[in-house]
Amino acid sequence: MKYLDEYRDEGLAKKIVSEIERIVTRPWVLMEVCGGQTHTIVKYGIDHLLPPQVELVHGPGCPVCVTSLEMIDKAHAIARRPDVIFCSFGDMLRVPGSESDLLVLKSRGADIRVVYSPIDCLKIARANPDKKVVFFAIGFETTAPSNAMSVWQAKKQGVKNFSVLVSHVLVPPSIASILQSPLNRVQGFIGPGHVCTVMGYREYEPIAERYKVPIVITGFEPIDILEGALMTIRQLEAGTFEVENQYPRVVNREGNRIARELVNKVFEVCDRKWRGVGSIPKSGYKLRYEFRDHDAERIFDVKEIATREPDICISGLVLKGVKKPHDCPAFGKQCTPEHPLGATMVSAEGACAAYYAYGRHLEARPAVEAA
Amino acid sequence: MCLAIPGKLIEISNDANGVRMGKANFGGIVKEICLEYTPEVNMGDYVLVHVGFALSKVDEEQAARTYNALKEMQQLDELNVPEVPS
Ligand code: SF4
């Protein structure tokens, strides 16, 4: 096994892999939800380590990748305004919009700043009272408490020149939509540990029940993922479909109650468009009406923009777990991290970027699995 | 950007607006973090921090393990984003 010697706990990894080999009796398709997990899987070759019956497909859990092109273009339109200081997490800078990316706009003179935390934007807003400070509030449930607190504090402290461009996405509706798709092959989920740190895992229970799929909330370290895979396969072999927690050292069923409460005060659930995937009902957060004075979409009233996505990019299918980066004709050729065509090549959590970072574009294309 | 990074809490304070803030040490890099979501944590505790917010407490051994795993995967870049002076 070519990858095993890279594990700090090689013995334990070996034990888990041989236990999976021992119990597996037929082919299974598992999806890891979180982009951090995808990164781990590709780096440590976990997909190559598992017996051939077990296939891992990569899920939609990269917030940078799924932020819709419309939203990226809106961000660009706002960032270009001379009265705006546009703040963002670093990963968003190179995400291609229809025309350019934030880095290019910055080089043309737009005031675009990378921040570590959304709450830093309040300081920027206070220091620049003559400017409008806008934060690009993207992310899954893990990021929602931070963005919610920034807006909450802005309102409470009367920081009037701070607003957020909200493009929040939620995990449970996205996995339900994957399970509803006629193209779906996923039979069990390695669930997102850090999302559940905030939200807990109660909302996964009706999904497991309804679609009869095991969901194992899992950490992102290599041993966690192996163990999460083992627990999922154990359930599949036994025909059970429970929500289990592989990551109790961090996650509990309730999540962080205080964070959940503030998120619910600031945001409400809305339909949300996912890049490459399309609109998913009730799969996002938007600001509640009370916070409209901090809503960049309302303040700047950016009209719908005609978007243009490169035809060759299949990132939508990659995000749904239907295709792998190797299936894309541009992978590692026209599309590289230096010249990304799609968002899944930008973020380290995107499947295309992870495959590229660990040299998978140099490997022969694996035989296409029967769909 | 979806991964939370563990750090050791080395300072707790309320800012001018009464927000519970603190400082956490991440393998030598010290960052200001918000503690509003973790009222239970004390000085010296290890917390799991995501984009400047402590989301939960972790034990020391777990924190070291997670930190090393993130380092190995080169997932600590966000810590290098300079702080906005207050
Ligand atoms: S390799 Fe590039 S072009 Fe192909 S699916 Fe991935 S991001 Fe899109």
CATH of the domain at A185: 3.40.50.11740
Whether A371 is in a domain gets the answer no
| String of DSSP letters for A165-217 | EEEEE-HHHHHHHHHHSTT----EEEEEHHHHHHH-SGGGHHHHHHHT--EEE
User: What is the domain count for chain A?
Assistant: 1
pLDDT at residue A108 in the model: 96
Mutate to test the interface with B, among A93, A120, A128 (most CBs of B within 10 A): A120
What are the backbone dihedrals phi and psi of residue A62, each rounded to the nearest 5 degrees, phi first? -120, 105
For residue A19, pLDDT beyond 80: yes
**Mean pLDDT computed over A274-278:** 84
**Mean pLDDT computed over A262-280:** 93
pTM of the predicted model, to two decimals?
Answer: 0.90
Taken as a whole, chain A contains a residue count of: 371
β-partners of residue B46 are B8, B58
Q: What is the pLDDT of residues A92-120, one digit of tens each?
A: 998 988 888 999 999 999 999 999 999 99
Q: What is the pLDDT of residues A25-74, one digit of tens each?
A: 999 999 999 988 998 999 889 999 999 999 999 888 888 888 998 999 99
Q: How many CA atoms lie within 13 A of A78 on its CB side?
A: 31
β-partners of residue A287 are A267
Whether B82 is in a domain gets the answer no
For residue A369, pLDDT beyond 60: no
- Give residues (CB < 6 A) around ligand 1: A 312-315, 318, 325, 328, 330-331, 335, 341-342, 344-345, 352
Is residue A162 within 8 A of residue A154, CB to CB? The reply is yes
Index of the ligand 1 atom closest to the CA of residue A346: 7
Range of the domain at A22: 1-359
Atom 7 (ligand 1) nearest CA: A342
Whether A369 is in a domain gets the answer no
In whole numbers, what is the pLDDT of chain A averaged over residues? 91
Range of the domain at B19: 5-77
User: What is the domain count for chain B?
Assistant: 1
End-to-end CA distance of chain B: 24
Whether B83 is in a domain gets the answer no
Whether B62 is in a domain gets the answer yes
Q: Is the dihedral angle over the CA atoms A35, A41, A42, A48 positive or is it negative?
A: negative
Strand ranges of the sheet holding A215-218, from the earlier edge strand across to the other edge: A54-61, A28-34, A188-192, A215-218, A243-245
CA–CA distances in Å: residue A344 to residues A18, A90, A365: 32, 15, 18
CATH code of the domain containing B25: 2.30.30.140
Residue type (1 letter), A239: G
Whether A53 is in a domain gets the answer yes
Q: pLDDT-based confidence at A368, cuts 50/70/90?
A: very low
Distance of alpha carbon A60 from its chain centroid, rounded?
6
Strand ranges of the sheet holding A267-274, from the earlier edge strand across to the other edge: A111-114, A84-88, A132-139, A162-169, A278-287, A267-274
For residue A370, pLDDT beyond 60: no
Distance A344 CA to ligand 1 centre (A): 6
